[in-house]
Amino acid sequence: MRLEKLQSYLQEQGWKYEYAEEDGCGSVDFEHRGLSYHVWEFDGGAESNVENVGRMKDYAGQYEEEILSIMRTW
């Protein structure tokens, strides 16, 4: 299982989400306040629209922590 911290946070918040894994990379889709969000892992990073729902952004390094820090401000 991948994106474990993200999945744990979503569970703590009681937000429904869908998780998929392919080729060792995780993918999470969820909704918050009527908006759809996506986090998709790739080798060495992730892509997500958590910062700007209409635009995907690449994250590298500690990408899961960076994505979570944005989500915690909501």
Q: Tens digits of per-residue pLDDT, 1-59?
A: 899 999 999 999 999 999 999 999 999 999 999 999 999 999 889 999 999 999 999 99
What is the predicted pLDDT for the residue at 65?
A: 97
Is 0.85 surpassed by the pTM of this model?
yes
Q: Using an 8 Å Cβ cutoff, are 2 and 41 in contact?
A: yes
The domains of the chain are located at 4-59
Structure tokens at 51: 């910062």
Q: What is the CA radius of gyration of the chain?
A: 11
| Separation CA 21–CA 46 (nearest Å) | 13
Per-residue confidence (pLDDT) for residue 43, from 0 to 100:
87
